[in-house]
């Protein structure tokens, strides 16, 4: 009996760069066809999309503001993926993380700003981690599927926040479901103020120091996953639980650990939104960032560097899409959502459709160039 041939090996840039670029190209080609069908120029629309995201310093600031949220949620989903888990609860964990940020900011009135901000950051991670701990524990100890429990916890988080903002934390004398504005010592500095302090003038935007925190989080996740024993154990459990048990690694302990770290990262969305931009607790501030984080992690191949570029792409789509729908009214906000959906579809659900053809084409080209090696 002849043993089957091992799968062909290709350079990492083929699977990590060429395949995602091809998927993106197909998504934008289909989006261009849709735009052409409604009577608009696809090239002009693409130009407005890019200029709306990167055409000025304030527009770049808004793009990076959205990117910040996607970095946090993308990293959160990636940590769970490495352990073989599908954490769909990033939305709820971000919500509860923001609750922790808001409670700290409302309570610590008159405290020095650096202390309030540091405690608020810690609270965002702690609240998000605590919200993810329960689904992780139920998966590890009771066999409850984490997909189901995290979905339900998203609804629970939304219901809890609605109750708190309507009945408990609502600003006195107001009817809107939001808390009072935080004292200025709880505000995270905007980047245009930070640059202005050193004599550099940039356009005003929602970009704040959370972007720097997100970049630091990406580096720390890289160290955690690939350079610590905990990260090795999480990846081993995700690759093969039977082998992990044989090696003396506890799957249940690492499942809980992965979910706690994942929830803590998702909770950090609250830093960007609550003390970075809104300066008060409001309803629905996660705005779907937790769900888009799934596509960001998939497109970024669960690697922090890939997640950064994928987050930047979605930040561009969010900011550039808003400018595009403003400049061309026939391309509505819903049409922009369709473009975003196509990117998610081809980079997530259908990412393996073109991979075999691209790999086969690469192997044909390389074998033609090196016929002796192929023999």
Q: If you average pLDDT over residues 141-161, what whole number do you get?
A: 93
Q: How far apart are CA 138 and CA 165, in angstroms?
A: 29
Whole-number pLDDT of residue 298: 85
Whole-number pLDDT of residue 4: 47
Q: How far apart are CA 87 and CA 129, in angstroms?
A: 12
**With 90 as the cut, is the pLDDT of residue 369 above it?**
no
Task: Quote the pTM value.
Answer: 0.90
> Mean pLDDT, the chain, as a whole number?
89
Query: Is 193 within 8 Å of 220 (Cβ atoms)?
Result: no
**With 80 as the cut, is the pLDDT of residue 344 above it?**
no
Q: How far apart are CA 207 and CA 216, in angstroms?
A: 16
Residue 208 φ/ψ, nearest 5 degrees:
-135, -175
Identify which has the larger pLDDT, 214 or 42.
Answer: 214
Residue 48 φ/ψ, nearest 5 degrees:
-65, -35
Q: Which residues are CB-contacts of 300 (< 8 A; sequence separation ≥ 6)? A: 74, 78, 306, 307, 308, 309, 310, 311
Extract the tokens encoding 104: 């700290």
Identify which has the larger pLDDT, 65 or 299.
Answer: 65
Model confidence band, residue 18 (pLDDT cutoffs 50, 70, 90): confident
Whole-number pLDDT of residue 211: 96
**With 80 as the cut, is the pLDDT of residue 15 above it?**
no
Q: Which residues are CB-contacts of 157 (< 8 A; sequence separation ≥ 6)? A: 91, 92, 93, 95, 96, 131
Query: Is 93 within 8 Å of 131 (Cβ atoms)?
Result: yes
Q: How far apart are CA 347 and CA 367, in angstroms?
A: 28
Query: Is 142 within 8 Å of 247 (Cβ atoms)?
Result: no
**With 50 as the cut, is the pLDDT of residue 5 above it?**
no
Highest-pLDDT range among 21-35, 214-228, 275-289, 309-323: 214-228
Q: How far apart are CA 150 and CA 143, in angstroms?
A: 14
pLDDT digits (tens, 9 = 90+) for 293-306: 988 998 888 999 99
Model confidence band, residue 31 (pLDDT cutoffs 50, 70, 90): confident
User: Cα angle at 190 between 188 and 194, to 5 degrees?
Assistant: 105
**With 60 as the cut, is the pLDDT of residue 7 above it?**
no
Extract the tokens encoding 91: 């939305």
Strand partners, 190: 208
Please compute, for residue 276, the number of CA atoms within 13 A of its CA located in the half-sphere on the CB side. Answer: 29
Strand partners, 208: 190
Extract the tokens encoding 200: 């550099």
Strand partners, 282: 178
pLDDT digits (tens, 9 = 90+) for 226-269: 999 999 999 999 999 999 999 999 999 999 999 999 999 999 99
**With 50 as the cut, is the pLDDT of residue 1 above it?**
no
Rg (CA), the chain: 23
Q: Give start and end residues of each alpha helix (H) in 83-144.
A: 90-107, 113-142
Strand partners, 178: 282
Residue whose token pair is 């939305």: 91
Query: Is 203 within 8 Å of 192 (Cβ atoms)?
Result: yes
Whole-number pLDDT of residue 97: 96
> 324, 110, 78: which is closest to 225 by C-alpha?
78
Whole-number pLDDT of residue 219: 97
Whole-number pLDDT of residue 195: 93
Whole-number pLDDT of residue 273: 95
Query: Is 53 within 8 Å of 60 (Cβ atoms)?
Result: yes
> 94, 130, 119: which is closest to 272 by C-alpha?
94
Whole-number pLDDT of residue 20: 80
**With 70 as the cut, is the pLDDT of residue 349 above it?**
no
pLDDT digits (tens, 9 = 90+) for 89-148: 999 999 999 999 999 999 998 899 999 999 999 999 999 999 999 999 999 998 888 999
Extract the tokens encoding 46: 């693409």
pLDDT digits (tens, 9 = 90+) for 195-220: 999 889 899 999 999 999 999 999 99
Whole-number pLDDT of residue 371: 58
């Amino acid at each position: 009996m002849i043993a089957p041939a091992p799968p062909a090996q290709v350079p990492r840039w083929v699977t990590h760069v060429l395949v995602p670029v091809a998927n993106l190209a197909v998504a934008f080609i289909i989006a261009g066809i849709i735009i052409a069908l409604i009577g608009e120029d696809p090239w002009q629309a693409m130009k407005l999309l890019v200029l709306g995201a990167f055409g000025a310093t304030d527009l770049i600031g808004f793009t990076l503001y959205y990117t910040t949220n996607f970095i946090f949620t993308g990293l959160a989903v990636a940590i769970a993926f490495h352990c073989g888990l599908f954490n769909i609860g990033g939305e709820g964990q971000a919500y509860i993380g923001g609750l922790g940020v808001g409670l700290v900011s409302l309570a610590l009135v008159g405290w020095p700003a650096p202390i309030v901000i540091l405690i608020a950051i810690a609270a965002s991670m702690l609240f998000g981690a605590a919200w993810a701990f329960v689904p992780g524990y139920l998966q590890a100890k009771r066999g409850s599927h984490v997909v189901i429990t995290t979905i339900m916890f998203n609804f629970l988080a939304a219901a809890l926040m609605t109750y708190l903002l309507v009945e408990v934390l609502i600003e006195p004398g107001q009817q809107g479901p939001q808390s009072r504005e935080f004292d200025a010592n709880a505000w995270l500095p905007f980047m245009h103020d930070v640059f202005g302090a050193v004599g550099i003038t940039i356009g005003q935007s929602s970009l704040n120091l959370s972007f720097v925190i997100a970049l630091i989080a990406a580096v720390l996740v890289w160290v955690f996953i690939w350079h610590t024993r905990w990260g090795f154990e999480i990846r081993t459990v995700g690759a093969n639980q039977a082998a992990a048990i044989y090696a003396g690694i506890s799957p249940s302990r690492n499942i809980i650990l992965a979910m706690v770290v994942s929830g803590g990262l998702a909770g950090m969305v609250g830093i960007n939104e609550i003390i970075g931009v809104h300066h008060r607790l409001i309803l629905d501030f996660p705005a779907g960032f937790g769900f888009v984080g799934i596509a960001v992690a998939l497109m970024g191949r669960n690697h922090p560097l890939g997640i950064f570029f994928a987050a930047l792409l979605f930040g561009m789509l969010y900011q550039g899409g808003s400018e595009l729908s403003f400049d061309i009214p026939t391309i509505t906000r819903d049409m922009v959502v369709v473009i975003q959906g196509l990117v998610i579809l081809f980079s997530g659900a259908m990412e393996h459709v073109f991979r075999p053809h691209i790999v086969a084409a690469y192997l044909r080209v390389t074998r033609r160039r090196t016929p002796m090696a192929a023999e």
